[in-house]
Amino acid sequence: MQFVPRSLAAAAGPLATSVDESTFRQPNHTAPAFRQTVLASSLCAIALGAAPAMVHAQSEPATLPTVVVTEESAPEANGKLNLDTPSGTASRLGLTPRETPATVTVVDRAAIEARGAQDTQEVLRSIPGVTAHNAPGNIGVSYRGFSGSSLSQLFNGINVQYSIAARPVDSWIYDRVEAIGGASSFLYGAGGVGGTINYITKLPERYDISEGQLRLGSNGLKEASIGLNRRIAGDGSGSADHYARIDLNHRDADGWTDGTGSRSTQLAASLLSVIGRDFTHTLAYEFQDEKVDRPYWGTPLLNPLAGTLHIDDATRFKNYNSADGLYAQRVQWLRSVADWRVSGAFQVKNTFYVYDALRDYRNVESYRFNPGNTAVIRSSTLLQRHDQRLVGDRIEGAYQGQLAGRRSDWAFGLDVSVNRQTRFPTACPARSAPSIPITLPPRIFSTYRAWHRAFAPTATTRSPRPRCIWKTARLSRPR
């Protein structure tokens, strides 16, 4: 029996290894005492062998690694959630998402760039619970299953009262998108049953910014963007300083179907005036111009429409919209924002805004094959212009104080606006464009029976019973 562990013997050196194993073969009643002697001797050898090393180590000055203490860095894109920065969309009281009893999501500029989101629809896909799609003829947003009038979509906190206003816009001019999941009608009125999404435009910062972006891609994609932020007056002391910012984007692209192409321009320009240490004024202007030639509305399915559905390979890239099909919009925003901190606890903010939008539609939107799959029957002709103007003013205030020794914050607000929409002429159902063979190019819209080309206002928000204007001439079936 060996009484010295192998590890201990190796550490003890020659003193332990020189002992013959036969030496330990003693009667059982003497083994414990001898084992204790050998172990004690081995431990002493270890201590003596280590002593020179310990003395040598103590003779040198102790050196500890350098510890660098820094402040907590800003949350990175796709990293830790930023729960401690107040969200103006979720609360009027300056609460952070951590303090707000609701599901709050903020997609900031860093996350937009890290994820390569090209337009607002792609930004919305970063929000848990949101389904945003830009399918042909079916642009929409759903938040936790709610959409349409059950979901509020705001622009800088303003509801334009028109769902189609939330078309995809290039993300370059936006600073962030904030969303509240769940009922939020208390904050923004009717329509916030399923949630609220707020698109927030870039505004001047109190430091210089110079940025740009070029993008080339398939289908003729060409895009250029530029952004500048400068102090144009004042000495930067925080009084009588003026900062200007401009963000400009232009995009030009073709589609993967016949004749489809799009061009868009976005501009955001703003001026921040620091009139005093407690008063600031921001004048902001946004301009959006978009034109889509021959929008693609889908490919007809072969009959019979049962079981596994099929398309004709010859129609895969064809566009059955009219040859001059069009979607176009021009949107202008003007906002004047005055922010006054009356005291350390009381703050008042007033926003005067004007929104003007003009949208044109000229399309044939539905297609199906005839029973023999030899020709395409087209329907749902639409020639319409939407003209909208929204003028309003919103005042809001917040007071942070105490009540009975406890924190007590209060907020108030009033929003008054006048919204006028005019449609001319108005679409009328059950009118069809001529059927055409599969390979025949569509004609221009004006050759179809149905429409008078002159735009005459026939419906406004004050006259809910519009009339339809038709041409009396008929078009012969194309050969």
Q: Residue 477: its pLDDT value, please? A: 31
CATH of 103-201, one of 2.70.150.10, 2.170.130.10, 2.60.40.730, 2.60.210.10: 2.170.130.10
Q: Which has more pLDDT, 21 or 299? A: 299
Q: Which parts of 349-410 fold into alpha helices (H)?
A: none
Has residue 357 got a pLDDT over 90? yes
pLDDT of residue 394: 95
| Structure confidence at residue 276 as a pLDDT band (50, 70, 90) | confident
Q: Mean per-residue pLDDT for 343-371?
A: 93
Ranges of each domain in the chain = 6-59, 103-201, 209-364+390-422
Residue 261 has pLDDT above 60, yes or no: yes
163-174 pLDDT, tens digit each: 777 788 899 999
Tell me how long the chain is: 479
Give dist(CA 348, CA 272) in Å, integer: 17
Which pLDDT score is estimated for 55?
A: 44
**Confidence at 58, pLDDT banded by 50, 70, 90:** low
pLDDT band at 423 (very low <50, low <70, confident <90, very high): confident
Q: What is the mean pLDDT of the chain?
A: 79
Where is pLDDT greater, at 23 or 338? 338
Share of the chain above pLDDT 70, in %: 73
Window from 105-109, 122-126, 251-255, 438-442 with minimum mean pLDDT: 438-442
Res 444 pLDDT > 80 = no
Question: Alpha-carbon distance 25 to 209, whole Å?
Answer: 87
pLDDT: which is higher, 63 or 210: 210
Q: pLDDT by residue (tens digit) across 322-335?
A: 888 999 999 999 99
> Residue 52: pLDDT above 80?
no
Q: What are phi and psi of 342, to 5 degrees?
A: -65, -40
Q: Is the confidence at residue 449, as pLDDT, over 70?
A: no
Q: Are strands 195-201 and 151-155 parallel, antiparallel or unpaired?
A: parallel
Q: Is the pLDDT of residue 379 over 90?
A: no
Interval 394-414 mean pLDDT: 91
* Of 108-117, 284-293, 431-440, highest mean pLDDT: 284-293
**Rounded distance between C-alpha atoms, residue 34 and residue 23, angstroms:** 10
Q: Is the dihedral of CA 22, 28, 29, 34 positive or negative?
A: positive
Flag the least confident range among 82-96, 256-270, 394-408: 82-96
Residue 82's CB: how many other CB atoms inside 10 A? 17
Q: What is the DSSP letter of 445?
A: G
pLDDT, one tens digit per residue, over 176-205 is 999 998 888 778 777 778 889 999 999 999
Per-residue model confidence (pLDDT) at position 410:
92
Q: Which residue has the higher pLDDT, 447 or 191?
A: 191
Q: pLDDT confidence of 448, banded at 50, 70, 90?
A: low
pLDDT at 61 over 90: no
Mean local confidence (pLDDT), 426-454? 58
pLDDT digits 0-9 by tens, 130-165: 988 877 667 788 888 888 788 889 999 999 888 777
- Whether the CB-CB separation of 240 and 275 falls below 8 Å is answered with yes
| pLDDT recorded at residue 95 | 85
